[in-house]
């Protein structure tokens, strides 16, 4: 059974560009959460989606948006990239907020 898959694994973008990150949850998991992890820090909550609806939002600017599709996969979009957006972006799926399973993440570098 496949775990949480994220794509791409690595990405380099220029300031001002936009980026789309993708996540496929574990089969049967309807909840997807996105986190940003800067080196040496804990994951910071960005969004949670459940059954295609946004259920939670962290303290991130409106440049960050996400959506969940009917098959429960999800996309995270970031517009007008800043150098400070460089981080590991983690997607996690869960069944009813119990024990999140994280993907391997997308390493985003903004230059």
Partner 1 sequence: GQQVMQIPQYQHVQEGEDFTTYCNSSTTLSNIQWYKQRPGGHPVFLIQLVKSGEVKKQKRLTFQFGEAKKNSSLHITATQTTDVGTYFCAGLIQGAQKLVFGQGTRLTINP
Beta strands in the chain (DSSP E): 5-7, 10-13, 19-24, 31-37, 44-50, 53-57, 64-68, 74-78, 87-95, 98-102, 106-110
By rule CB under 8 A, what count of residues binds partner 1?
Answer: 24
23 is an interface residue for partner 1 by CB under 8 A: no
105 is an interface residue for partner 1 by CB under 8 A: yes
The 60-89 contact track toward partner 1, x by CB under 8 A, reads ------------------------------
Per-residue DSSP letter, 41: S
Cβ-based nearer residue to partner 1, 105 or 110: 105
7 is an interface residue for partner 1 by CB under 8 A: no
């Amino acid at each position: 059974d496949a775990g949480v898959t994220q794509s791409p694994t690595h990405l380099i973008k220029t300031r001002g560009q936009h980026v789309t990150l993708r996540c496929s949850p574990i089969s049967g998991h309807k909840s997807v959460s996105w986190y940003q992890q800067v080196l040496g820090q804990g994951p910071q909550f960005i969004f949670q989606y459940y059954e295609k609806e946004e259920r939670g939002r962290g303290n991130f600017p409106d440049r960050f948006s996400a959506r969940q599709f009917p098959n429960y996969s999800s996309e995270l979009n970031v517009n007008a990239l800043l150098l400070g957006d460089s981080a590991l972006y983690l997607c996690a799926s869960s069944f009813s907020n119990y024990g999140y399973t994280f993907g391997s993440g997308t390493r985003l570098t903004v230059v």
